[in-house]
């Protein structure tokens, strides 16, 4: 039965990886393999001799001697445990997405256009790279990419030039998301799972992430495509709106407040995110002059459109398919973890993979393993890779292993256009060809990835 569950997982994983070829949204195989995996575990519960206790991160002793009812009780408790941990991540993401959509509701991101006053290509490249790096650390790399490419489309008419800017934005956004607990889904997963803390994450990864962004941006700035000046579109922008700047700064401050709230209260991050959402929603309702309602529309109104709550409007636009995908993939990985498959795979890695340079920890996880994970995240979605690593390794909080995983998974996806959420959304918005990106941008991303990794391998010795 265990072999069948692994086959189901691998099949689902392949369907996710081949999403664009199969023309099937990746949330579908994620949900199907999650449901099938847990159903098969339930059907074959009496045949399993091992069970992984996620709370203690160890195999449950004498599991084979338990009766059917005891095993089913353990299964239900394990399922509830993983659902709770997954829900923490999903609720956090829903809150962050809603705040970003509220900012967009007030056209807050148009304020950023005021910072762009140059026509020189090289200067524009550095401005967009730095904006992508900083914004992705605050509002996550996916949203930062959407905002900046939307801005590109308004000010640069030449699509061939825009493609180059978009490719470098993806690289910079992924680099910026790696060092922030709210900058990338995988980093957020590690943070919520108490594998990394905000202070140590900044300490270990800020410099490697900066290097990962600076090196490819500098090399690109020397290319002929970024020489000369551009004719910028000056009248294509939308009016900013009365409260656009206020909502932009309020929303960004609310998201940045979440890690501070966690450090002060020691409560899970989603609690702070819900507080931030509530505060932003209050101002949104006041500024929109609509009736305050978090639970329903004013159904007595004859003109619904003029009284729609900005919170409702924003909630209707969040990426629900992404939320369901995370639910499916995280719970599917949890099924393999519960059977002890990931635990056994981690032991095999420790024994069979040679160490590349200095070992990261006393358990013998080599640098090569983590670097391969980063390369793998360019081909395969980095969310299941990091989810698997959470079940494979038992290193304590802020161990160097977790920080290297955060860097590799976060920045490695830049090497292919399909390797990160930022790349996929850029691909859709600008219709970027896979092979064009592979030829023009991948080598820059690879150099940046290696440069950042080398920086991490050096700077970790200073802590």
- Mean pLDDT for each consecutive 10-residue tract of the chain (463 residues)? 86 79 83 92 85 72 82 88 87 86 84 75 91 89 84 82 92 93 87 89 93 95 86 54 82 88 87 93 82 45 55 83 84 83 66 50 62 81 76 82 90 85 80 87 94 91 69
8 A C-beta contact, residue 302 and residue 5: no
Domain ranges of the chain: 89-315
β partners of residue 53? 58
Closest to 277 (Cα-Cα) out of 323, 314, 231: 314
In terms of phi and psi (left: phi > 0; alpha: psi -120 to 50; beta: otherwise), the region of 158 is beta
pLDDT at 300: 44
Find out whether 190 and 402 touch, Cβ atoms under 8 Å.
yes
> CA 70 to CA 387: how far, in whole Å?
27
pLDDT at 348: 67
pLDDT at residue 347, as a whole number: 64
CA distances 106 to 111, 150, 254, Å, are 11, 15, 16
Query: Of all helices (H) and strands (E), which one includes residue 176?
Result: helix 159-178
**Could you report how far apart the first and last alpha carbons of the chain are, in Å?**
46
The answer to whether 17 touches 29, Cβ cutoff 8 Å, is: no
């Amino acid at each position: 039965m265990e072999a069948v569950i692994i086959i189901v997982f691998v099949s689902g994983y392949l369907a996710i990886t081949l999403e664009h070829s199969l023309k099937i949204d990746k949330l579908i195989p994620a949900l199907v393999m999650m449901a099938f995996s847990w159903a098969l575990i339930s059907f074959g519960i009496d045949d399993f001799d091992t069970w992984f206790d996620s709370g203690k991160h160890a195999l449950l002793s004498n599991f084979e001697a338990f009766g059917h009812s005891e095993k089913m009780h353990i299964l239900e408790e394990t399922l509830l445990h993983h659902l709770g941990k997954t829900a923490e991540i999903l609720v956090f993401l829903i809150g962050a997405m809603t705040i970003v959509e509220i900012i967009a509701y007030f056209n807050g991101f148009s304020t950023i256009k005021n910072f762009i006053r140059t026509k020189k290509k090289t200067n524009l490249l550095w401005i967009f790279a730095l904006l992508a790096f900083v914004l992705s650390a605050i509002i996550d790399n996916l949203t930062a990419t959407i905002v900046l490419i939307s801005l590109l489309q308004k000010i640069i008419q030449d699509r061939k030039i825009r493609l180059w800017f978009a490719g470098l934005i993806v690289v910079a956004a992924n680099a910026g998301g790696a060092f922030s607990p709210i900058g990338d889904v995988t980093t957020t997963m590690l943070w919520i799972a108490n594998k990394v803390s905000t202070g140590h994450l900044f300490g270990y990864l800020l410099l490697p992430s900066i290097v990962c962004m600076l090196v490819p941006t500098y090399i690109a700035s020397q290319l002929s495509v970024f020489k000369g000046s551009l004719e910028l579109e000056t009248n294509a922008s939308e009016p900013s709106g009365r409260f656009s700047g206020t909502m932009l700064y309020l929303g960004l401050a609310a998201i940045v407040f979440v890690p501070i709230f966690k450090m002060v209260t020691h409560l899970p991050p989603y609690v702070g995110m819900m507080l931030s959402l509530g505060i932003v929603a209050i101002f949104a309702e006041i500024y929109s002059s609509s009736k305050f309602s978090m639970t329903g529309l004013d159904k007595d109104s004859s003109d619904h459109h003029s009284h729609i709550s900005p919170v409702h409007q924003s909630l209707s636009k969040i990426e629900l398919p992404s939320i369901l995908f995370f639910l499916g993939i995280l719970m599917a990985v949890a099924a393999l973890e519960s059977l002890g498959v990931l635990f056994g795979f981690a032991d095999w890695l420790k024994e069979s993979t040679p160490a590349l340079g200095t070992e990261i920890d006393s358990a013998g996880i080599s640098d090569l393993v983590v670097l391969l994970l980063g390369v793998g995240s360019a081909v395969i979605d980095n969310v299941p890779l990091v989810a698997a690593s959470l079940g494979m390794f038992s290193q304590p909080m802020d161990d160097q292993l977790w920080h290297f995983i955060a860097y590799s998974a976060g920045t490695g996806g830049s090497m292919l256009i399909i390797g990160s959420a930022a790349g996929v959304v850029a691909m859709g918005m600008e219709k970027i060809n896979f092979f064009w990106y592979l030829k023009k941008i991948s080598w820059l991303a690879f150099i940046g990835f290696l440069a950042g990794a080398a920086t991490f391998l050096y700077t970790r010795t200073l802590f």
